[in-house]
Amino acid sequence: MKKEINSVLYQRFLDALADGKEAYFDADEVDELMSELEEASNFTYYEDILELGLKLHPDNLDLQVRKCHILVWNQTYDQALELIDSLSETDHEELDMLRMECYAYLKRYDDLFGYLDLLIEKKVDYLERIFESISPMLGNWDKRAFSYMEIGLELFPDNQFINEDFCYNLENKGQDTERAIKICNKLIDLDPYEYDYWFMLGRLYSVSLQYEKAIEAFDFALACNPSSSPEVRLLKGYCLYMNENYEKAIEVYSELLKEGEVNERIFPFLGDCYIKIEKYEDAYVMLKKIIGKKSYDDDPSVFINMIRCCLETDRKNEAEILLKKANKLFPDNTQILSLQAFQYMKNGEDELAVNTTGKVLDLLNDRIGLDKESSQTLYDTAQTLYLNGEAEKALKYYLQILKAEPNMPYLHLNIALAYLFLGDMEQFHKHYKSTSEEEIISFLNQQKYDVTFNRIKLSEYAFSKKIPSDQLILEYLNNKNNYN
Which residues are within 8 A (CB) of 105 and not within 5 positions of it... i.e. 6 or more apart?
Answer: 75, 77, 137
Report how far residue 201's alpha carbon sits from residue 199's, in angstroms, rounded to the nearest whole number: 5
Q: Give the residue with greater pLDDT, 130 vs 393.
A: 130
Report the distance separating Cα 119 and Cα 73, nearest Å: 24
Cβ burial of 225 (10 Å; 0-12, 13-18, 19+) is middle
Number of domains in the chain: 1
Report the pLDDT averaged over residues 110-122.
89
Distance separating alpha carbons of residues 189 and 194, to the nearest angstrom: 10
What local confidence, expressed as pLDDT, does residue 215 receive?
95
Q: Would you state the torsion angle of the CA atoms of residues 261, 264, 265, 267, taken in this order, to the nearest 10 degrees?
A: 120
For residue 224, tell me if it sits in a domain: no
Question: What pLDDT does residue 206 have?
Answer: 93
Q: How far is CA 93 from the centre of its chain?
A: 39
Q: Confidence band (pLDDT; 50, 70, 90) for 452?
A: very low
Angle (deg, nearest 10), helices 300-312 and 263-276: 50
Domain span at 477 = 409-484
| Cβ–Cβ under 8 Å, residues 170 and 180 | yes
34-81 tens-digit pLDDT? 888 888 888 888 888 888 888 889 888 888 888 999 999 989 999 999
Instruction: Give buried/exposed letters for 159-179 (b at 16+ CB in 10 A, else e).
Output: bebbbbbbbbbbbeeeeebee
HSE-up of residue 426 (Cα within 13 Å, Cβ side):
0
Share of the chain above pLDDT 90, in %: 16
Average pLDDT in the 149-156 region?
A: 86
Q: What is 182-243 written as a DSSP string?
A: HHHHHHHHH-TT-HHHHHHHHHHHHHTT-HHHHHHHHHHHHHH-TT--HHHHHHHHHHHHHT
Lowest mean pLDDT among 68-72, 98-102, 256-260, 284-288: 256-260
In a domain, 287, yes or no: no
Lowest mean pLDDT among 19-23, 31-35, 240-244, 451-455: 451-455
Mean of the pLDDT values across residues 409-413? 85
Side-chain half-sphere exposure of 1, counting CA atoms within 13 A: 2
Whether 482 has a pLDDT exceeding 50, the answer reads: no
pLDDT at 140: 61
Burial class (CB in 10 A: 0-12, 13-18, 19+), 444: buried
Whether residue 11 lies inside any domain: the answer is: no
- Closest CA relative to residue 267, chosen from 222, 305, 294: 305
**pTM for the full predicted model:** 0.64
**Whole-number pLDDT of residue 372:** 64
Residue 426 lies in a domain: yes
- Whether pLDDT at 12 is above 50: yes
pLDDT computed for residue 444 by the predictor: 66
Q: Within 10 Å of residue 366's Cβ, how many Cβ atoms?
A: 8
In a domain, 143, yes or no: no
Rounded to the nearest angstrom, the gap between the alpha carbon of residue 399 and the centroid of all alpha carbons in its chain is 32
Does 60 fall in a domain? no
CA distances to 118, 237, 253 from 259, in Å: 54, 15, 10
Q: State the pLDDT confidence band at 365, using cuts at 50, 70 and 90.
A: low
Q: Which of 43-57, 77-91, 105-119, 185-199 has the highest mean pLDDT?
A: 185-199
What pLDDT does residue 217 have?
A: 94
pLDDT-derived band at 311 (thresholds 50, 70, 90) equals: confident
Q: Cα(127)–Cα(132) distance, rounded to whole angstroms? A: 9
CA distances from 270 to 5, 59, 304 (A): 53, 67, 15
Contact 458, 417 (CB under 8 A): yes
Residue 334 is predicted with a pLDDT of 76
The CA distance from 451 to 50, in Å, is: 91
Task: Give the pLDDT mean for 302-322.
Answer: 86
Whole-angstrom distance, CA of residue 261 vs CA of residue 264: 9
The pLDDT value recorded for residue 205 is 94
Q: Is the pLDDT of residue 469 over 90?
A: no
418 pLDDT tier (thresholds 50, 70, 90): confident
Range scoring the smallest mean pLDDT among 284-298, 347-361, 399-413: 347-361
Helix, strand, or coil (residue 340): helix
Contact 99, 64 (CB under 8 A): no
Q: What is the mean pLDDT of the chain?
A: 80
pLDDT score, position 2? 61
Q: Choose the weakest-confidence range: 112-116, 411-415, 471-475.
A: 471-475
CA distance 290 to 297: 10
Q: What is the pLDDT of residue 473?
A: 35
With a cut of 60, say whether residue 459 has pLDDT above it: no
Across the range 29-34, mean pLDDT stands at 87
> Among residues of the chain, what percentage have pLDDT more than 70?
85
Q: Report the range of poorest mean pLDDT among 25-39, 178-192, 249-263, 371-385.
A: 371-385
pLDDT of residue 468 exceeding 80, the answer is no
Split at pLDDT 50, 70, 90, the class of 377 is low
Q: Does residue 420 belong to any structural domain of this protein?
A: yes
Domain membership flag for residue 35: no
Average the pLDDT over 187-207 and give the result. Answer: 92
Q: Is the model more confident about 386 or about 26? A: 26
Q: How far is 412 from 402, CA to CA, in rounded Å? A: 8
| Range name among 203-212, 323-332, 349-358 with the lowest pLDDT average | 349-358
pLDDT tens, position by position, 218-247 = 999 999 988 777 889 889 999 999 988 999
Of 159, 91, 150, 77, the closest CA to residue 121 belongs to 91
User: What's residue 445's pLDDT?
Assistant: 67
Predicted pLDDT at 8: 85
